[in-house]
Structure 1
C-alpha cells in the first residue's frame, strides 16, 4: 500500500507531528485560563520603539469597563492610522497579552496605533457580550481619535481565529448601526460559520490546534445554544448574514489544513460577489494558528508579511487606490 502523502507544508511538518490533538471542554478550559494568569507575557512589555499601555474604556450600556492594550510608536508624529485588533481563542479563552509580539510588530513596522481588546469570554459571557465589548472599544477609538492622534478615516479592524470572526461581525454591526465605519477588515483564518460543526465530511487527521470537537464547544459556548440550528441572532454568526454589500474592503488568509478553510473561502467569495473587495491568501499545507505556533518558520514569516502588507496598503493608500478603498 502506498503511504499517504504528508499534507502539511515542509516548514510545518515537524510541528504538526508533535502538536497534541486536544478537544476543548470545560475542565480543559479551566486549566488553560489558570495557566495564562501566571505567564510572564501577562506583564506589560517594555519596548524601545513602542510604548505599551493598558487603558480602561467605557463598555456597553450597563456593562463593565473594557480593558484595551495600546501600542504606540514612540517616534510617531502627527495623526496616524490605527488598528483595532481582536485576539483569538475560540470565543472562550485568550487575552491581548497573547498577541503582544504581533501588535508590537504592527506598530513598529507600520507606524500605526494598535488597540487590542480584552473582551469578555464565553461561556460565562455569551453573545452579544464579546461583540458589544469590541464595538465599545471601536467607538472609543473613533470618539477619542483627536486626543489619541489618530486619523478617523484610517481606522482598520482585524483579528485571528475567533478574533477574525468577531472582526467580521463587528464590520457588519458597525455597518448596521451607522455610527462609525472602519476603513478595512483584516480576517486571519477567521471563525465565521457555526454550521461547520454539523459537517461529517471533514478529515480530522489534517487538522491541528483546533478540531471539530473544539469547534462545537466554542460555538455552543458563544451562542448559548446548539450550533448549526436553523436560526441564530443577527450578528452572532457572520457567515449567516445574507446581504454583505456595503461592508469595508477585506483581506482573508487561511491554510488548506485549517478547519475554517472552506467557510473562509466561501465568505470571501460572497464578499466579492456583493461588491466588497477581498484579497485572499491561501497557504498550502498550513494548519490553524501556524503563524503563531511556528512563529519563526519561513512560511509563517511570509504569511505575516503578506497580511502586514495588506494592512499597509489599506491604511496608507496610494492615490490610485482611492477608488478601491471606497467599497460598498
Structure 2
C-alpha cells in the first residue's frame, strides 16, 4: 500500500473511532447540564489559537477584593525569581489570626497553559486559608505560546524552591509543604513533584491534582468522547499542548515534567489526591496516573465524579456534585496537613 493510501486509511480509522466514542460517551449530571449554556458564554467548548486573547480576558481571575472581602484573610504581594531569574509575582494569603509556622500550599492556576492568572479558580483554595489556617501562595507563571516549554514548568519549580527557601519569612512549615494545581496547573504541579524528587528539591507532603492536564498525546478514549461539547474538548487540548510544545507535541522528546503521563518512574512521590469528572476528556489520563502511582507503591486517592464536566466545581459550585467534590477534597487536605 502506498503512503498516501496508508495515511488515508489511518485517518479513516481514527475518525471512525472518534464517532463511535462520541456515541458511547457518559451523560452529564442533570443539574450540571442545566448550567452548561451559561458556562459556554465565558468558556466555549472548543478553544482555538485565535481565541487565546478572548480567553485571557474572559478567564481572568476576579479582583482581590472579591476573593477576600469580608474574610479573615490578609494578602501580601511578593516577587520571586522564575526560570533564568525572570521576576514573577506571587500572592501570599494568611489567616489574620494565624500565628507561628503554618502548613504551606503552593497553588498553580488553570487555563490550558495559555491563559488564567494567579487569581483564576482560587476561590476553593482560599477556603483552606480560613478552614485550615494554611499559608497559600499563588503564582504567575509564564504562559504559552509566548513562553513555550520549559518556561511554565520551570517557573513553577522555581516558585517551589523559593517558597521552601523563604519558609521562615513566609511563615511556612517545611514538613507541611504541599503543591496544588487545577487542570493545566494540575499537570504542572505533578511535573514539579517529579522534578523535586529527581533534583533533590523541596520535600512535599502531598500533591493535590484537580482534573489534571497530564498527557500531550491525546490517545485516550475520553479525549475522543468529548469533542465539541462540555468544557475543554479535544481541539482545545490540542491547542493548549501545541502552544506549549509546538511541533514536539505527541512526539518522542517531550519531558515528563511537562507531560507527567510520560513518566516511567513514579516511585518516591508524595501522596496524591486526584479528582476528575466522568464526562470530560481528562478522565482516562487521570485514572491512569493514579493507577501508575499505585503500581509504583505510592499513595493516591482518586475520585471520579459521575456526570461531571471539566472544572465543574469552579463553574457550578452550587450544585450537589460540586459540593461533594469540594467537601471530599477538603477532608483529604485536612488529613494530609494535620500534625
Cα distance in 1 for residues equivalent to 2:311 and 2:258: 22
Confirm or deny: 8 A CA contact 1:197 1:228 kept in the other structure. Answer: no
- Judged with a 3 Å threshold, the aligned counterparts in structure 2 of structure 1 residues 268 and 113 are, in CA distance, closer, same or farther, namely same
Once the two structures are superposed, residues 65-98 of structure 1 have per-residue CA deviations (whole angstroms, 9 ceiling, x without a partner) of 1211111011112211011011111111100112
Cα distance in 2 for residues equivalent to 1:232 and 1:6: 31
Alignment of 1:147-166 (within 5 A): 147-166=169-188
What corresponds to 1:12 in structure 2? Answer: 32
What corresponds to 1:108 in structure 2? Answer: 130
Confirm or deny: 8 A CA contact 1:196 1:263 kept in the other structure. Answer: no
What corresponds to 2:166 in structure 1? Answer: 144
**Secondary structure in structure 2 of the residue aligned to 1:88:** coil
What corresponds to 1:321 in structure 2? Answer: none
Count matched residues: 313
Q: 1:168 aligns with which of 167, 190, 195?
A: 190
Q: 1:33 aligns with which of 56, 60, 63?
A: 56
Cα distance in 2 for residues equivalent to 1:138 and 1:54: 16
- Judged with a 3 Å threshold, the aligned counterparts in structure 2 of structure 1 residues 253 and 48 are, in CA distance, closer, same or farther, namely closer
Cα distance in 2 for residues equivalent to 1:28 and 1:76: 42
What corresponds to 2:296 in structure 1? Answer: 274
TM-score by length of 1: 0.89
What corresponds to 2:199 in structure 1? Answer: 177
**Secondary structure in structure 2 of the residue aligned to 1:66:** strand
Alignment of 1:109-258 (within 5 A): 109-196=131-218, 202-204=224-226, 207-258=229-280
Confirm or deny: 8 A CA contact 2:223 2:282 kept in the other structure. Answer: no
**Secondary structure in structure 2 of the residue aligned to 1:69:** strand
- Judged with a 3 Å threshold, the aligned counterparts in structure 2 of structure 1 residues 40 and 186 are, in CA distance, closer, same or farther, namely closer
Unaligned stretches of 5+ residues in structure 1? 318-328
Unaligned stretches of 5+ residues in structure 2? 1-22
What corresponds to 2:13 in structure 1? Answer: none
**Secondary structure in structure 2 of the residue aligned to 1:191:** coil
Cα distance in 1 for residues equivalent to 2:171 and 2:75: 15
176-185 vs 262-271, which moves further? 176-185
**Secondary structure in structure 1 of the residue aligned to 2:308:** strand
43-52 vs 114-123, which moves further? 43-52
Cα distance in 2 for residues equivalent to 1:228 and 1:74: 47
TM-score by length of 2: 0.86
Once the two structures are superposed, residues 123-176 of structure 1 have per-residue CA deviations (whole angstroms, 9 ceiling, x without a partner) of 111111111111111111111111222110100001110010001101001111
**Secondary structure in structure 1 of the residue aligned to 2:90:** strand
**Secondary structure in structure 2 of the residue aligned to 1:68:** strand
2:306 is the counterpart of 1:284? yes
Confirm or deny: 8 A CA contact 1:198 1:228 kept in the other structure. Answer: no
